[in-house]
Amino acid sequence: DTEVTQTPKHLVMGMTNKKSLKCEQHMGHRAMYWYKQKAKKPPELMFVYSYEKLSINESVPSRFSPECPNSSLLNLHLHALQPEDSALYLCASSHPGLETQYFGPGTRLLVL
């Protein structure tokens, strides 16, 4: 099973709202990732968790707050977003190191 699930599929939020994106995998992977993808562009790495610890933060604004409660779950908490944050947010997981990353279907976020 190489499935990564993400909820919700779509999310519309105002600039003052607080919302969370969720990602789950049951492949025993100990590395999990958040990517942001704008239309017609490649995914851009936001955060990497390795063994439930944040290992890479690509200078992401603090209005995005990641959380890894356990080895199977990854959350992205959103607060006071801007319209330019509207994008497809992709979660991925892998074994730590130079291993294949498996992607979820993404959450399409619209900030009004």
Partner 1 sequence: AQSVTQLGSHVSVSEGALVLLRCNYSSSVPPYLFWYVQYPNQGLQLLLKYTSAATLVKGINGFEAEFKKSETSFHLTKPSAHMSDAAEYFCAVTLKAAGNKLTFGGGTRVLVKP
Q: How far apart (Å, rounded) are the C-alpha atoms in residues 56 and 28? A: 20
Q: CB under 8 A: which stretch of 13-21, 70-78, 79-87, 103-111 binds partner 1?
A: 103-111
Q: Which tokens in the block code for residue 91? A: 């979660």
Task: Say if residues 75 and 57 touch (Cβ distance below 8 Å).
Answer: no
Q: CB under 8 A: which stretch of 11-19, 64-72, 76-84, 95-103 binds partner 1?
A: 95-103
Residue whose tokens read 């979660």? 91
Instruction: Give me the 44-63 binding string for partner 1, x by CB under 8 A, dash otherwise.
Output: -x--x-x----xx-------
| Listed residue (28, 46, 15) closest to 93, CA to CA | 28
Residues found near partner 1 in the complex (CB under 8 A) = 4, 6, 31, 33, 40-43, 45, 48, 50, 55-56, 90, 92, 94, 96-98, 100-106, 108
